[in-house]
Amino acid sequence: MEFSRRDTLALGVGAAALTMLPISVSAAADDAVAAFTGGADVSETGVELTAPEIAENGNTVPISVEAGGAVAILVLATGNPTPGVAQFNFGAMSGAQAASTRVRLAGTQDIVAIAKMADGSFAKAQQTVKVTIGGCGG
Amino acid sequence: MASGVKPRVKAPKKVAAGEIATIKCLISHKMESGQRKDKEGNKIPRSIINRFTCDFNGTNALDVTLEPAISTNPYFQFEVMIPEAGELKFTWYDDDGSVYETAKKVAIG
């Protein structure tokens, strides 16, 4: 197959768009993290995030988060069009700082859970989920 | 109001005082994310439940902010401390302003 000038240009633009896309997506997730933590240091231990390694259907992916001593847990899907998933705020009557729910994932990506502890520190957990069929419709 | 919204809650009827009870709740709601398009290519506007709360005898146990990434028929499982007999109250807040409520009585024994 021979490349015309037009094909070559289109290829170049496509490749540039592909490389730009992940950067812009993770920037939105980083903003959400910064808004939640206020730029404070985030430790890597203290949160447990459970999600399947491979999800066949991105429309309902069961996840659960647990962080002893947390007052709030923020869950983000870094590869979704909007990274926010949910924020759990635990009240005085909460029996354990744990919750499960089902989420939509647009494609294979990392899920991030950030917990705000009662003493004001932050902790995070991250897991990659492979998605066979994305859950954002089309 | 979105049609066919029905909250369902599974909570124990009876617990020992001070026990931690596991609560499961689900509400039927289409949770339109605002990303999908209809046959003509127009965006279907976002219509989701944006907040869920659970209180025991007026004290908050869980307050969740939901985003469009929560699946259709949002489901939550969590734990609540039950120190005395009382009532669990569940509230869902829809984007269109409707509020769906349900309550479960819990006895000690």
Residue type, A54: I
Residues of B in Cβ contact (< 8 Å) with A88: 62-64, 78
| In-domain check, residue A30 | yes
For A134, the token pair is: 């994305």
Task: Give the best residue of A73, A101, A133 to mutate against chain B (max B CB count within 10 A).
Answer: A101
Looking at the structure of chain A, the number of domains it has is 1
Residues A71-116 pLDDT 10s: 999 999 988 888 889 999 998 888 889 999 999 988 888 899 999 9
Q: What is the pLDDT of residue A18?
A: 53
- Looking at chain A, the whole-number percentage of residues with pLDDT higher than 90 is 22
Contact check, Cβ <8 Å, A104/B69:
yes
| In-domain check, residue A137 | no
Contact check, Cβ <8 Å, B59/A84:
no
| In-domain check, residue A37 | yes
Residues B26-50 pLDDT 10s: 999 888 888 888 888 888 888 889 9
The minimum CA-CA distance between B7 and chain A, rounded to whole Å, is 15
The pTM for the full model equals 0.80
| In-domain check, residue A27 | yes
| In-domain check, residue A119 | yes
The ipTM value here is 0.85
For B77, the closest of A93, A100, A137 (CB atoms) is A100
CA A89 – CA B61 distance, rounded (Å): 8
| In-domain check, residue A42 | yes
| In-domain check, residue A43 | yes
CATH number for position A89? 2.60.40.2470
Contact check, Cβ <8 Å, A92/B61:
yes
Residues B38-93 pLDDT 10s: 888 888 888 889 999 999 998 999 999 998 889 889 999 999 989 989 899 999 99
**Domain residue limits at A94:** 5-131
Q: What is the pLDDT of residue A138?
A: 47
What is the three-class DSSP state of B29? coil
On the question of pLDDT at B2 being above 60, the answer is no
Q: What is the DSSP string of B53-106?
A: EEEETTEEEEEEEE-TTBPSS-EEEEEEEE-SSEEEEEEEEETTS-EEEEEEEE
Residues of B in Cβ contact (< 8 Å) with A92: 59-61
Residues A7-61 pLDDT 10s: 766 666 666 555 555 545 567 788 888 888 887 788 888 888 999 999 888 888 9
Residues of A in Cβ contact (< 8 Å) with B79: 94-96, 98
Residues of A in Cβ contact (< 8 Å) with B66: 86
Contact check, Cβ <8 Å, A138/B63:
no
Rounded average pLDDT over B12-19: 88
Residue type, A20: M
Residues of B in Cβ contact (< 8 Å) with A103: 69-71
Q: Which residues contact B50 (CB under 8 A, 6 or more apart)?
A: B65, B66, B67, B93, B94, B95
Q: What is the pLDDT of residue A23?
A: 47
| In-domain check, residue A58 | yes
Q: Which residues contact B7 (CB under 8 A, 6 or more apart)?
A: B25, B26, B27, B28, B90, B92, B100, B101, B102
